Amino acid sequence: NAGVTQTPKFQVLKTGQSMTLQCAQDMNHEYMSWYRQDPGMGLRLIHYSVGAGITDQGEVPNGYNVSRSTTEDFPLRLLSAAPSQTSVYFCASSYNGEFGGYTFGSGTRLTVV
């Protein structure tokens, strides 16, 4: 049982490039979310999903797309990377959507130059 797995752990992009941050969980959790964490700040919700085929926007969705074709995977796509998207990205999953039950991945540190 690996929990929540995020890949890659580190990434450097040039402005304008696109990429996909991967997130997979093996706990059969229905609820999955993406957050970004900037220096000196708490986490901010980007997108979330309550099940396969269902996604919705969080607090800071601009510049990001998500899809949920399977229960296990919830990839986050950066359409055209900008320096403002330099951040640490966390994926989280939960069985029933209760906050205490969220399991976070170890994060992807993204730098856009």
Residues of the shown chain interacting with another protein in the complex, contacts defined by CB under 8 A? 4, 31, 33, 40-45, 48, 56, 58-59, 90, 92, 97-102, 104-107
Cβ-based nearer residue to another protein, 17 or 86: 86
Cβ-based nearer residue to another protein, 60 or 82: 60
Q: Which residues pair with 108 in a beta bridge?
A: 89
Q: Which residue reads 């540190």 in tokens?
A: 109
**Least CB distance to another protein at residue 104 (A):** 3
**Least CB distance to another protein at residue 67 (A):** 17
d(CA 5, CA 63): 23
> Hey, what's the torsion of the CAs at 67, 60, 104, 43, to 10 degrees?
180
